[in-house]
Protein backbone atom coordinates (compact mmCIF):
# COMPACT_ATOMS: atom_id res chain seq x y z
CA UNK A 1 0.00 0.00 0.00
CA UNK A 2 1.34 3.42 -0.99
CA UNK A 3 -0.11 6.88 -0.52
CA UNK A 4 0.76 10.22 -2.04
CA UNK A 5 -0.36 13.77 -1.37
CA UNK A 6 1.15 15.94 -4.08
CA UNK A 7 -2.09 17.96 -4.20
CA UNK A 8 -4.50 17.92 -1.28
CA UNK A 9 -7.52 17.83 -3.59
CA UNK A 10 -6.05 14.88 -5.48
CA UNK A 11 -4.92 12.70 -2.61
CA UNK A 12 -4.13 9.22 -3.96
CA UNK A 13 -3.54 5.68 -2.71
CA UNK A 14 -2.18 2.60 -4.47
CA UNK A 15 -3.42 -0.91 -3.69
CA UNK A 16 -1.62 -3.41 -5.88
CA UNK A 17 -2.50 -2.47 -9.45
CA UNK A 18 -5.41 -0.27 -8.37
CA UNK A 19 -5.06 3.50 -7.88
CA UNK A 20 -7.63 5.47 -5.90
CA UNK A 21 -7.86 9.27 -6.31
CA UNK A 22 -9.88 11.60 -4.11
CA UNK A 23 -11.69 14.53 -5.75
CA UNK A 24 -12.97 17.00 -3.14
CA UNK A 25 -16.14 18.98 -3.69
CA UNK A 26 -16.07 20.79 -0.32
CA UNK A 27 -14.70 20.62 3.21
CA UNK A 28 -16.33 22.16 6.24
CA UNK A 29 -16.03 22.62 10.00
CA UNK A 30 -19.17 22.67 12.09
CA UNK A 31 -21.24 21.45 14.97
CA UNK A 32 -22.52 17.91 14.88
CA UNK A 33 -26.12 18.11 16.07
CA UNK A 34 -27.50 17.41 12.58
CA UNK A 35 -24.99 14.62 11.86
CA UNK A 36 -23.78 12.98 15.07
CA UNK A 37 -25.79 14.42 17.98
CA UNK A 38 -23.63 12.72 20.62
CA UNK A 39 -20.40 14.14 19.18
CA UNK A 40 -20.39 17.40 21.12
CA UNK A 41 -17.22 19.46 21.57
CA UNK A 42 -17.11 18.24 25.17
CA UNK A 43 -17.19 14.56 24.17
CA UNK A 44 -14.90 14.94 21.14
CA UNK A 45 -12.02 16.45 23.12
CA UNK A 46 -12.03 13.28 25.21
CA UNK A 47 -10.72 11.45 22.11
CA UNK A 48 -7.25 13.03 21.88
CA UNK A 49 -6.12 11.44 18.61
CA UNK A 50 -8.83 13.31 16.68
CA UNK A 51 -6.95 16.63 16.93
CA UNK A 52 -5.81 18.46 14.91
CA UNK A 53 -6.81 16.70 11.66
CA UNK A 54 -10.38 15.71 12.47
CA UNK A 55 -11.53 18.32 15.01
CA UNK A 56 -10.56 21.93 15.58
CA UNK A 57 -9.33 23.42 18.84
CA UNK A 58 -12.93 24.37 19.59
CA UNK A 59 -14.01 20.73 19.28
CA UNK A 60 -15.92 21.23 16.03
CA UNK A 61 -16.05 18.42 13.47
CA UNK A 62 -13.98 18.60 10.31
CA UNK A 63 -15.78 16.87 7.42
CA UNK A 64 -15.35 16.46 3.67
CA UNK A 65 -17.60 15.74 0.72
CA UNK A 66 -15.63 13.99 -2.00
CA UNK A 67 -15.72 11.36 -4.72
CA UNK A 68 -13.24 8.57 -5.25
CA UNK A 69 -11.94 7.43 -8.62
CA UNK A 70 -10.86 3.78 -8.69
CA UNK A 71 -8.55 2.92 -11.59
CA UNK A 72 -8.11 -0.78 -12.24
CA UNK A 73 -5.91 -2.12 -15.05
CA UNK A 74 -8.96 -1.98 -17.37
CA UNK A 75 -11.60 0.35 -15.88
CA UNK A 76 -12.22 3.80 -14.45
CA UNK A 77 -14.81 3.66 -11.69
CA UNK A 78 -16.27 6.70 -9.89
CA UNK A 79 -17.62 5.99 -6.40
CA UNK A 80 -20.31 8.46 -5.23
CA UNK A 81 -20.83 11.83 -6.88
CA UNK A 82 -21.19 14.40 -4.07
CA UNK A 83 -23.81 17.20 -4.10
CA UNK A 84 -23.66 18.77 -7.55
CA UNK A 85 -24.13 22.29 -8.91
CA UNK A 86 -27.31 24.28 -9.54
CA UNK A 87 -29.54 22.06 -7.38
CA UNK A 88 -32.16 23.19 -4.91
CA UNK A 89 -31.28 21.71 -1.52
CA UNK A 90 -32.72 22.24 1.96
CA UNK A 91 -29.23 22.52 3.50
CA UNK A 92 -28.32 26.18 2.89
CA UNK A 93 -24.60 25.45 2.39
CA UNK A 94 -25.49 22.91 -0.32
CA UNK A 95 -28.11 24.94 -2.15
CA UNK A 96 -27.42 26.08 -5.73
CA UNK A 97 -23.71 25.27 -5.54
CA UNK A 98 -21.21 26.59 -8.06
CA UNK A 99 -18.11 24.49 -7.40
CA UNK A 100 -15.20 23.52 -9.65
CA UNK A 101 -15.76 19.79 -9.14
CA UNK A 102 -15.95 18.87 -12.83
CA UNK A 103 -12.96 21.03 -13.69
CA UNK A 104 -11.03 19.43 -10.83
CA UNK A 105 -12.00 16.00 -12.13
CA UNK A 106 -10.59 16.86 -15.55
CA UNK A 107 -7.47 18.48 -14.05
CA UNK A 108 -6.83 15.18 -12.29
CA UNK A 109 -6.94 13.48 -15.70
CA UNK A 110 -10.48 12.12 -15.69
CA UNK A 111 -12.57 13.35 -18.60
CA UNK A 112 -16.27 12.69 -18.07
CA UNK A 113 -16.38 10.45 -21.14
CA UNK A 114 -13.59 8.28 -19.69
CA UNK A 115 -15.63 6.99 -16.74
CA UNK A 116 -16.77 3.39 -17.23
CA UNK A 117 -18.88 2.94 -14.08
CA UNK A 118 -20.47 5.19 -11.48
CA UNK A 119 -21.08 3.30 -8.22
CA UNK A 120 -23.55 4.61 -5.63
CA UNK A 121 -23.00 3.37 -2.08
CA UNK A 122 -26.50 4.78 -1.45
CA UNK A 123 -28.78 7.48 -2.84
CA UNK A 124 -28.55 10.30 -0.31
CA UNK A 125 -28.26 13.88 -1.52
CA UNK A 126 -24.47 14.18 -1.03
CA UNK A 127 -23.70 10.96 -2.91
CA UNK A 128 -25.62 11.33 -6.18
CA UNK A 129 -25.54 15.02 -7.08
CA UNK A 130 -23.03 14.93 -9.93
CA UNK A 131 -24.88 12.03 -11.54
CA UNK A 132 -26.46 14.82 -13.59
CA UNK A 133 -25.70 18.33 -14.80
CA UNK A 134 -28.02 21.11 -15.91
CA UNK A 135 -28.08 21.74 -19.66
CA UNK A 136 -30.73 23.88 -21.36
CA UNK A 137 -33.01 23.61 -18.35
CA UNK A 138 -32.79 19.78 -18.32
CA UNK A 139 -30.91 17.39 -16.04
CA UNK A 140 -28.71 15.17 -18.20
CA UNK A 141 -26.25 12.39 -17.27
CA UNK A 142 -22.84 13.83 -16.42
CA UNK A 143 -20.99 10.66 -17.41
CA UNK A 144 -22.62 9.68 -20.71
CA UNK A 145 -20.57 6.53 -21.39
CA UNK A 146 -20.78 5.11 -17.86
CA UNK A 147 -23.07 2.47 -16.44
CA UNK A 148 -24.54 3.74 -13.17
CA UNK A 149 -24.67 0.85 -10.67
CA UNK A 150 -27.20 1.15 -7.85
CA UNK A 151 -28.33 -1.43 -5.32
CA UNK A 152 -31.80 -2.54 -6.32
CA UNK A 153 -33.39 -2.35 -2.86
CA UNK A 154 -31.95 1.15 -2.39
CA UNK A 155 -33.28 2.35 -5.73
CA UNK A 156 -36.76 0.94 -5.18
CA UNK A 157 -37.05 2.51 -1.72
CA UNK A 158 -36.19 6.02 -2.96
CA UNK A 159 -38.25 5.62 -6.13
CA UNK A 160 -41.28 4.98 -3.92
CA UNK A 161 -40.38 7.92 -1.66
CA UNK A 162 -40.07 10.14 -4.73
CA UNK A 163 -43.81 9.90 -5.27
CA UNK A 164 -44.22 11.99 -2.12
CA UNK A 165 -43.60 15.73 -1.87
CA UNK A 166 -40.33 15.95 0.06
CA UNK A 167 -36.68 17.01 -0.28
CA UNK A 168 -35.86 13.34 -0.90
CA UNK A 169 -38.21 13.39 -3.89
CA UNK A 170 -36.35 16.34 -5.39
CA UNK A 171 -33.01 14.54 -5.04
CA UNK A 172 -34.33 11.46 -6.78
CA UNK A 173 -35.98 13.44 -9.56
CA UNK A 174 -32.99 15.61 -10.45
CA UNK A 175 -30.09 13.23 -9.74
CA UNK A 176 -31.33 9.65 -10.12
CA UNK A 177 -34.35 9.48 -12.40
CA UNK A 178 -32.65 11.25 -15.36
CA UNK A 179 -29.93 8.58 -15.59
CA UNK A 180 -32.60 5.88 -15.22
CA UNK A 181 -34.63 7.45 -18.00
CA UNK A 182 -31.50 7.58 -20.16
CA UNK A 183 -31.13 3.79 -19.81
CA UNK A 184 -27.79 4.05 -18.00
CA UNK A 185 -28.72 2.42 -14.66
CA UNK A 186 -28.04 -1.20 -13.73
CA UNK A 187 -29.71 -2.40 -10.53
CA UNK A 188 -27.47 -4.83 -8.66
CA UNK A 189 -27.41 -6.66 -5.36
CA UNK A 190 -25.37 -5.52 -2.36
CA UNK A 191 -22.61 -8.03 -3.01
CA UNK A 192 -22.27 -7.36 -6.75
CA UNK A 193 -18.85 -8.01 -8.28
CA UNK A 194 -18.06 -5.09 -10.58
CA UNK A 195 -14.74 -6.46 -11.83
CA UNK A 196 -12.02 -8.74 -10.41
CA UNK A 197 -10.70 -5.94 -8.20
CA UNK A 198 -13.91 -4.16 -7.12
CA UNK A 199 -17.01 -5.46 -5.35
CA UNK A 200 -19.97 -4.04 -3.45
CA UNK A 201 -20.04 -5.10 0.21
CA UNK A 202 -23.29 -5.06 2.23
CA UNK A 203 -23.03 -2.59 5.13
CA UNK A 204 -26.62 -2.18 6.37
CA UNK A 205 -28.07 0.45 8.63
CA UNK A 206 -27.54 3.88 7.11
CA UNK A 207 -30.11 3.40 4.32
CA UNK A 208 -32.27 0.45 3.20
CA UNK A 209 -29.72 -0.77 0.66
CA UNK A 210 -26.44 0.74 1.81
CA UNK A 211 -23.26 -0.90 0.52
CA UNK A 212 -19.58 -0.09 0.77
CA UNK A 213 -17.00 -0.84 -1.93
CA UNK A 214 -14.26 -3.41 -1.38
CA UNK A 215 -11.03 -3.31 -3.39
CA UNK A 216 -8.56 -6.18 -3.72
CA UNK A 217 -5.43 -6.29 -5.88
CA UNK A 218 -2.24 -8.29 -5.53
CA UNK A 219 -3.18 -9.26 -1.96
CA UNK A 220 -3.69 -5.64 -0.93
CA UNK A 221 -7.14 -4.58 0.19
CA UNK A 222 -9.15 -1.47 0.94
CA UNK A 223 -12.70 -0.46 1.79
CA UNK A 224 -14.47 2.68 0.56
CA UNK A 225 -16.94 3.24 3.34
CA UNK A 226 -19.85 5.24 1.95
CA UNK A 227 -21.75 6.35 5.06
CA UNK A 228 -20.95 3.29 7.12
CA UNK A 229 -19.01 5.92 9.07
CA UNK A 230 -19.24 9.71 8.84
CA UNK A 231 -16.42 10.85 11.10
CA UNK A 232 -13.36 9.20 12.73
CA UNK A 233 -14.88 9.72 16.19
CA UNK A 234 -17.15 6.76 15.40
CA UNK A 235 -14.13 4.47 15.51
CA UNK A 236 -13.72 5.40 19.15
CA UNK A 237 -17.49 5.43 19.69
CA UNK A 238 -19.09 2.92 17.28
CA UNK A 239 -22.39 3.32 19.12
CA UNK A 240 -22.70 6.94 17.92
CA UNK A 241 -25.13 6.69 15.03
CA UNK A 242 -25.88 9.46 12.58
CA UNK A 243 -29.19 11.22 13.01
CA UNK A 244 -30.09 10.21 9.44
CA UNK A 245 -29.31 6.51 9.86
CA UNK A 246 -32.29 4.45 8.72
CA UNK A 247 -31.75 1.75 11.35
CA UNK A 248 -29.46 2.98 14.11
CA UNK A 249 -29.01 -0.37 15.85
CA UNK A 250 -28.09 -1.98 12.55
CA UNK A 251 -25.63 0.78 11.67
CA UNK A 252 -23.93 0.37 15.05
CA UNK A 253 -23.72 -3.39 14.61
CA UNK A 254 -22.27 -2.91 11.12
CA UNK A 255 -19.57 -0.54 12.38
CA UNK A 256 -18.56 -2.90 15.16
CA UNK A 257 -18.39 -5.83 12.73
CA UNK A 258 -16.46 -4.00 10.02
CA UNK A 259 -14.01 -2.35 12.41
CA UNK A 260 -13.36 -5.69 14.11
CA UNK A 261 -12.68 -7.32 10.74
CA UNK A 262 -10.30 -4.54 9.66
CA UNK A 263 -8.55 -4.00 12.99
CA UNK A 264 -4.82 -4.69 13.08
CA UNK A 265 -4.75 -5.79 9.43
CA UNK A 266 -3.11 -3.98 6.48
CA UNK A 267 -6.55 -3.25 4.93
CA UNK A 268 -6.96 0.45 4.14
CA UNK A 269 -10.11 2.25 5.32
CA UNK A 270 -10.93 4.98 2.77
CA UNK A 271 -13.69 7.14 4.19
CA UNK A 272 -16.16 9.15 2.16
CA UNK A 273 -16.47 12.04 4.63
CA UNK A 274 -13.13 12.15 6.45
CA UNK A 275 -11.07 15.27 5.74
CA UNK A 276 -7.39 14.86 4.91
CA UNK A 277 -5.82 12.36 5.28
CA UNK A 278 -9.21 10.63 4.58
CA UNK A 279 -7.79 7.11 4.96
CA UNK A 280 -5.80 4.94 7.31
CA UNK A 281 -5.53 1.65 9.12
CA UNK A 282 -7.96 0.58 11.83
CA UNK A 283 -6.22 -0.42 15.06
CA UNK A 284 -7.68 -1.60 18.34
CA UNK A 285 -7.71 0.93 21.18
CA UNK A 286 -8.97 -0.71 24.35
CA UNK A 287 -12.55 -1.79 23.76
CA UNK A 288 -12.84 0.41 20.66
CA UNK A 289 -10.70 1.52 17.73
CA UNK A 290 -8.71 4.41 16.31
CA UNK A 291 -7.30 5.42 12.94
CA UNK A 292 -3.58 5.06 12.26
CA UNK A 293 -2.39 7.31 9.46
Question: In whole angstroms, what is the distance from residue 78 CA to residue 116 CA?
Answer: 8
Task: Give the CA angle between residues 193, 197, 200 to the nearest 5°.
Answer: 35
Q: Is this prediction's pTM over 0.85?
A: yes
Each residue's pLDDT tens digit in the chain (293 positions)? Answer: 433 333 466 899 999 999 999 999 999 887 766 789 999 999 999 999 999 999 987 888 999 999 999 999 999 999 999 999 999 999 999 999 999 999 999 999 999 999 999 999 999 999 999 999 999 999 999 999 999 999 999 999 999 999 987 788 999 999 999 999 999 999 999 999 999 999 999 999 999 999 999 999 999 999 999 999 999 999 999 999 999 999 999 999 999 999 999 999 999 999 999 999 999 999 999 999 999 99
Q: Specify whether the CB–CB gap between 121 and 227 falls below 8 A.
A: yes
DSSP class of residue 63?
A: E
- On the CB side of 64, how many CA atoms lie within 13 Å of its CA? 25
Walk me through the domains of the chain, giving residue ranges and CATH numbers.
2-292 (3.60.15.10)
Q: Specify whether the CB–CB gap between 133 and 94 falls below 8 A.
A: no
C-beta atoms surrounding 48 within 10 Å? 9
Question: In whole angstroms, what is the distance from residue 73 CA to residue 60 CA?
Answer: 40
Amino acid sequence: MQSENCNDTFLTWQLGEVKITRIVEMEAVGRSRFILPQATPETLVQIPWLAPDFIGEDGLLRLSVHSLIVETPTLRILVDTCIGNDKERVVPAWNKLETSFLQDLERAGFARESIDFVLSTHLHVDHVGWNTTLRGGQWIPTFPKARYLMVGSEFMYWAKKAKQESPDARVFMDSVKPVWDAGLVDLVDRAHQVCPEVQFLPTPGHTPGHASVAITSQRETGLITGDLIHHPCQLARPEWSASVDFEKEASTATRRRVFSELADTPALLIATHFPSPSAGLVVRDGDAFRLQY
